[in-house]
Amino acid sequence: MTGMAACLRSGWSRLGRCQVPAVTAVVVLAVTLTLGGDSSVLSMSVQVAVTTLIAVSFGMAYGLGGVLSAAQAAFAACGAYLSAIVTAQAGWPLPMGLAVAVLLPAAVGYVLVRLVGGLSHMVIGLATLTLGQIFTTAISHGGHLTGGYVGLSGIPPLPGWLSTPLGSHVLAWLSVLVVVWLYANLSTSTQGSAFRAIAFDETLARTLGVPVARNLGALLALSGGMAGYAGWLFAHTNSFVSPESLPVQYSITVFLMVIVGGRRSIAGPLIGAVGLSLLSYYLPGGQIQGIVYGLALVAAMLLFPYGVTSVVHRIGPVRRGVSASEASDHADASGQPHDRSVEVIR
């Protein structure tokens, strides 16, 4: 895939120009939690990082290609279960478990979109939702292989220092940083422009020669592989996985996180996932937690209808002496700048 190769060759310079806020947020949060030094805080940090990885994978599919994937939690659960089965039951090494956890969800995502890619994005979303339900049913009735409703325990931990709370914390947030780097470079590559052209007007993209089904398949494959990696990390940092660990409903939670943060910004899924995850961790339990969490979501959507990060894009031009009306003329409905140079690849 030439677009992906170009995105990898572009290096850190493009990331430095375009995504300083996202990278800064990752580094500041990771360092702050590290300075806390408490093992419970570090363990919580790993779970927040796993959620962030899933949110960024969803934001990539939805923000770039307009694919509303309801299977991100299923992809993550697939990665977790696959690695747990091959490492705990078959005795494979962790790198082999990682390869399976990433490649199989990616392959499933690609095949699914190629099968229904000629239909509307709504149909693709329903297909991913159905896929998630099928996978949940399969692992719940998987018997000894998946542990059924009880789940699988005794999953091998990460090797050496990485199995400690600090080591897992460092690995988790380095993973987030790498995923943000990949997303940033893909977003500003020729391939990213093709994805945005499909999201903007699929018919026009076809007219211009963009292979829609192939591009959307590649996008969901990349997104599914990232979610599968998050599942692998979850399984080997908790040494346990069950159908309730990453249920289908979790995809809805991730969707809300991306919407609150801003789907068209790479920093959006990161900020939404971290903010709402920390909010849920520190809220009191029971019904009060649900009420406060719901109110926080409603408030965020009312105050920032296009995501929290849209505020930065609207304030920036004003600080440079551009009027608010002129700034709005240069932004689309998501609060992000118009992409006036959509490059088409064949």
Residue 70 CB partners (closer than 8 Å, separation 6+): 125, 126, 128, 129, 132, 248, 251, 252, 255
- Dist CA 253 CA 276 (whole Å): 9
- How far out from the chain centre does Cα 134 lie? 21
Would you say residue 316 lies in a domain? no
Give the pLDDT of residue 105. 95
Give the pLDDT of residue 316. 47
Report H helices in the chain: 2-9, 11-18, 20-36, 39-65, 72-84, 94-116, 121-140, 165-187, 190-200, 202-207, 212-238, 249-261, 267-282, 287-303, 310-319, 324-329
> Mean per-residue pLDDT for 13-31?
59
Would you say residue 330 lies in a domain? no
Phi and psi torsions of 82, nearest 5°: -60, -45
Give the pLDDT of residue 241. 95
- How far out from the chain centre does Cα 34 lie? 23
- Dist CA 165 CA 167 (whole Å): 6
Residue 137 CB partners (closer than 8 Å, separation 6+): none
The string of pLDDT tens digits covering residues 228-251 is 999 999 999 999 999 999 988 888
- Dist CA 199 CA 208 (whole Å): 14
> Mean per-residue pLDDT for 124-144?
89
> Mean per-residue pLDDT for 151-162?
93
Would you say residue 145 lies in a domain? yes
Would you say residue 298 lies in a domain? no
Q: What angle do CA 155, 279, 283 make, to 5 degrees?
A: 95
- How far out from the chain centre does Cα 37 lie? 27
Give the pLDDT of residue 266. 82
Q: Comparing C-alpha atoms, which of 75, 160, 136 is closest to residue 111?
A: 75
pLDDT above 90: percentage of residues in the chain: 34
- Dist CA 346 CA 190 (whole Å): 10
Tally of CB atoms within 10 A around 253 = 19
Average pLDDT of the chain to the nearest whole number: 79
- Dist CA 300 CA 248 (whole Å): 24
pLDDT band at 33 (very low <50, low <70, confident <90, very high): low
Instruction: State the pTM of this model.
Output: 0.83
Tokens at 179, concatenated: 């995923």
The string of pLDDT tens digits covering residues 253-269 is 898 888 888 887 888 88
Check: CB of residue 252 under 8 Å from CB of residue 8.
no
**Stretch among 99-103, 127-131, 151-155, 226-230 having the lowest mean pLDDT:** 127-131
Q: Comparing C-alpha atoms, which of 7, 8, 52, 47 is closest to residue 261?
A: 52
Statement: residue 67 has pLDDT above 80: yes
Q: What angle do CA 120, 188, 27 make, to 5 degrees?
A: 110
Would you say residue 341 lies in a domain? no
> Mean per-residue pLDDT for 96-108?
95
Give the residue numbers spanning the domain of 208: 2-241
Single-letter amino acid code for the residue at 113 = V
Q: Which of 37-41, 84-88, 340-344 has the highest mean pLDDT?
A: 84-88
> Mean per-residue pLDDT for 214-234?
94
Number of independent structural domains in the chain: 1
Give the pLDDT of residue 2. 47
- Dist CA 236 CA 84 (whole Å): 8
Check: CB of residue 215 under 8 Å from CB of residue 346.
no
Give the pLDDT of residue 230. 96
- Dist CA 170 CA 34 (whole Å): 8
Residue 246 CB partners (closer than 8 Å, separation 6+): 73, 74, 76, 77, 80, 231, 234
Give the pLDDT of residue 284. 67
Would you say residue 41 lies in a domain? yes
> Mean per-residue pLDDT for 316-343?
43
Give the pLDDT of residue 330. 42
pLDDT band at 7 (very low <50, low <70, confident <90, very high): very low
Statement: residue 18 has pLDDT above 60: no
Q: Which is higher by pLDDT, 31 or 317?
A: 31
Would you say residue 142 lies in a domain? yes
Would you say residue 164 lies in a domain? yes
The string of pLDDT tens digits covering residues 269-314 is 888 888 888 888 777 666 676 777 777 778 777 887 777 777 765 5
Statement: residue 152 has pLDDT above 80: yes
